[in-house]
Structure 1
Amino acid sequence: MLDIAAELHRWCEEGRDFAVATVVTAVGSAPRQPGAALAVDAAGTAIGSVSGGCVEGAVYDLCQDALRTGQAVRESFGYSDEDAFAVGLTCGGTIDILVTPVPADDTRLRPVLAAALSAAAPASGDPAAAADGRPAALVRIADGPPELLGRALLVRPDGSYEGSLGPALDRTAALGRTAALGRTSALDRTAVDEARALLEAGRTATVEVGADGGRCGEPVTLLVESAVPPPRMIVFGAIDFAGALARIGKFLGYHVTVCDARPVFATARRFPDADEVVVDWPHRYLDATEVDARTVLCVLTHDAKFDIPLLERALRLPVAYVGAMGSRRTHEDRLRRLREAGLGQSALARLRSPIGLDLGARTPEETALSIASEIVAARRGGSGVPLTGAHIPIHHDLSASVGMGRIGSVV
């Protein structure tokens, strides 16, 4: 849902009734990933997409039904071999959709969603997640007891939260108010813990927990959407290739920094697409700046006096990608120098050098595309080989386990 936060935030401010359909799980060649959303207001206006066109009409109707009934529903869509014209994904995948009505007079769910939308798309209208520096995770019950479906929490990095997932069910006995509140807080606390783990990693995923907040009890599926600042791309070396890479980095949603020790080359005029241009020695800047597990570092200087101290530090950091430009001869010399600096084989194995995929690139733009392709493949688990005749999945499953729950459908 946060992928259309700017528009939905405006709808909330205008007091519109609307329903939002969100992809919960995606299996096979489904075109959109968990978190992708389609919203429909009471006047029939639609924004967003859940399938790239395959099932939009059916989901649109579900949103209108939800607005009429006031009931959240979960629906699955997939390709039908028996009836190729049935509503489904002609690409062969399967998606599960959570459809939630959000009327203007809702006093439980709407304030939570409005706060999440505000965090993900501030009043400036910038659709970049958490562009105002307020990362948060939106947690919704995507599967479980019907009366809890669609309930939400907004979780902050410090563990504070707004809203509630509601009381868990007790099939054996009626609960008094105190016991019910205790069980509610247990489910909320579990959701907060799971959301904070995903928020730290900047990931959107589903998590299965027990309705009582533990490992047991009636199963509940939580959809956790993370609104975080965009990942960083730091490009070292103020050369023409860096300008092309800054452009494609912005296109891919990165916050792009270009760094070079030479002030005559490192100027904002030369790199208008970069978010910032820094004049500093690359290794000194890397020591002083913040990076995380989503950060990509692209070393384009191919000059040993810059490269070696920079890569010595970069390959020790828990970042997503480290690539360095240069010939194969430069690469061998670089490895020798890094070994002499004390780096072991496991650290050296993380280095992508020569940087990029084999596209036969020549121009700065083609080279930037080659580098960006390798970054996307590393992020998504792709092989980089042509899909034609390869007999490999088009979309890769990067499911992983975090915390006590089982996490899947990660983006």
Structure 2
Amino acid sequence: MKELTDIVNAYDIAAQSGIKTALATVVQVEGSAYRRAGARMLITEDGQLTGAISGGCLEGDALRKARLVIHQQEAMLVTYDTMDDDDSKLGVGLGCNGIIHILIEPINDSGTSPIGLLKAIVDKRLQGVLVTLFSIEDRKAPQPGTCLCLTTQGLEISGLESSDHRLSLINDAQRVFDQQQSETRILTGEVEYTAFVEFIKPLITLVVIGAGNDAIPLTKMAAVLGWDVTVVDGRPNYAIADRFPSARKVIIAKPSEVLQHVDLNPQTAFVLMTHNYNYELALLQELIPLQLPYVGILGPKKKLERMLAELEDNGFNITQDQLNGIYGPVGLDIGSEGAEEIALSILSEIKAVLSSRQGYSLKFKPTPIHTTHIKKISSS
């Protein structure tokens, strides 16, 4: 989501200056590659790049092709075979052992542009589905590109008015939205098209409970990741916006008031670090029934055990499912010392939990780094 946000912001700046742009999207990967399908990059006619489609190997060639796309105002599908180590092809030995298909689309103000569909997700900080349509079999055929966006706020469609696949793609988008799992679908007909139906998670929302000095590096590092950060504390002399310039909101609130200031989504994480036992106990009682994916509590394990026991002694029933989302001591075991390293540990654990990963070294991962869960379905 951060990449999409950066691209939308960069487009707005370019558009205000009258600079033409194109959008490059990794639409399909066969084998291994640095970026997976869904990676995007905005390219301006004067050579500014926002986002990334590789580790830097493909960007130069993509820039050259994007300028052609901008000039001709026609989308282009480009394929890079990184299985070949011959430096003469791209000027660099990639060694990724994959085939990468990248669709480059011109951005213009006529109708609903790809950027307009991205904005439908980014501006409202929503989860959603984007559909990108392209033809690998017939590269000279029209490449419809980013053509559909589905969110809880509704459906937006661009360029499918006369398409035989319009209804089918709407149904595909709804299914992917419900299942929260991307698909690649083959659409047969006069021209064989591939539809990349991509589920996009909402922006990670980090709610830091506690405005002490140790919360400052946590908010700064989360902002670098593009997370939406809110800081909450009951102490007016701590909860000061100037102390947390990286946070979108800094709130003064009692535990019973906190949830009034937070928009919860499936990517919301709380970290309790007030160093005030009673404040955190009262807030934990508010959070547990919500069964959030991540509630981290700074401090020793005995502190959390005492809090849970105290709640249960007062008649508060805590289920195993609710306990599964509570993390204390907070963070991954990376030998952290000091506020900055503790922040790194906490953010790493949050990312691992929200990605359903274990957080161990990739050295010991028995399967490829990017395991794909994309379905391939043929449809006429």
**TM-score interval w.r.t. the shorter chain?**
0.7 to 0.9
The amino acid across from 2:77 in the alignment is: R
Out of 143, 152, 160, which is 1:157 matched to?
Answer: 152
Give distance in 2, aligned partners of 1:33 and 1:351: 31
Pair 1:390-2:367 in alignment: no
The amino acid across from 2:346 in the alignment is: I
Alignment of 1:109-124 (within 5 A): 111-113=112-114, 115-116=116-117
Q: Give the conservation status (yes or no) of the 8 Å contact 2:77–2:143.
A: no
Alignment of 1:44-83 (within 5 A): 45-48=47-50, 49-67=52-70, 71-80=74-83, 83=86
Alignment of 1:2-401 (within 5 A): 2=4, 3-12=6-15, 16-26=19-29, 30-41=33-44, 43=45, 45-48=47-50, 49-67=52-70, 71-80=74-83, 83=86, 86-87=89-90, 89-102=94-107, 104=108, 107=110, 111-113=112-114, 115-116=116-117, 129-130=122-123, 138-143=130-135, 146-150=141-145, 152-155=147-150, 157-168=152-163, 183=164, 185-187=166-168, 189-190=170-171, 193=174, 205-208=182-185, 210=187, 220-224=194-198, 230-286=203-259, 289-301=262-274, 303-340=276-313, 341-387=316-362, 389-392=363-366, 395-397=369-371, 399=373
CA separation of 1:80/1:14 partners in 2, compared to 1, >3 Å: closer, same or farther? Answer: same
Q: Give the conservation status (yes or no) of the 8 Å contact 1:208–1:221.
A: yes
The amino acid across from 1:324 in the alignment is: I
CA separation of 1:318/1:397 partners in 2, compared to 1, >3 Å: closer, same or farther? Answer: farther
Q: Give the conservation status (yes or no) of the 8 Å contact 1:38–1:46.
A: no
| CA deviation after TM superposition for structure 1 residue 292, in Å | 0.9
SS of 1:316's partner is helix
TM-score normalised by the chain length of structure 1: 0.72
The amino acid across from 2:131 in the alignment is: V
| CA deviation after TM superposition for structure 1 residue 274, in Å | 2.6
CA separation of 1:382/1:136 partners in 2, compared to 1, >3 Å: closer, same or farther? Answer: closer
- Which is further off, 391-400 or 320-329? 391-400
| CA deviation after TM superposition for structure 1 residue 148, in Å | 4.9
| CA deviation after TM superposition for structure 1 residue 5, in Å | 1.9
Give distance in 2, aligned partners of 1:385 and 1:263: 40
| CA deviation after TM superposition for structure 1 residue 79, in Å | 2.9
Q: Give the conservation status (yes or no) of the 8 Å contact 1:78–1:89.
A: no
CA separation of 1:260/1:19 partners in 2, compared to 1, >3 Å: closer, same or farther? Answer: closer
Give distance in 2, aligned partners of 1:281 and 1:218: 59
Deviations 1:212-253 (A, max 9, x none): 9xxxx966413547596x432111123222222122222221
The amino acid across from 2:64 in the alignment is: D
Deviations 1:284-319 (A, max 9, x none): 413663211011110113544233342233233253
The amino acid across from 1:74 in the alignment is: L
Q: Give the conservation status (yes or no) of the 8 Å contact 1:28–1:395.
A: no
| CA deviation after TM superposition for structure 1 residue 327, in Å | 0.9
| CA deviation after TM superposition for structure 1 residue 69, in Å | 5.5
- Which is further off, 259-268 or 236-245? 259-268
CA separation of 1:136/1:69 partners in 2, compared to 1, >3 Å: closer, same or farther? Answer: same
Give distance in 1, aligned partners of 2:133 and 2:256: 45
Q: Give the conservation status (yes or no) of the 8 Å contact 2:27–2:102.
A: yes
SS of 1:19's partner is strand
Unaligned runs of 5+ in 1: 121-128, 169-182, 407-411
Q: Give the conservation status (yes or no) of the 8 Å contact 1:283–1:306.
A: no
Deviations 1:132-160 (A, max 9, x none): x7987653314477335325235553324
The amino acid across from 1:332 in the alignment is: E
SS of 2:229's partner is strand
The amino acid across from 1:222 in the alignment is: F
Give distance in 1, aligned partners of 2:238 and 2:210: 9
Give distance in 2, aligned partners of 1:192 and 1:24: 16
Aligned length: 365
Q: Give the conservation status (yes or no) of the 8 Å contact 2:133–2:193.
A: no
Give distance in 2, aligned partners of 1:347 and 1:4: 37
CA separation of 1:141/1:358 partners in 2, compared to 1, >3 Å: closer, same or farther? Answer: same
Once superposed, what is the RMSD of the aligned Cα atoms?
A: 3.9
Unaligned runs of 5+ in 2: none
SS of 1:315's partner is helix
- Which is further off, 242-251 or 14-23? 14-23
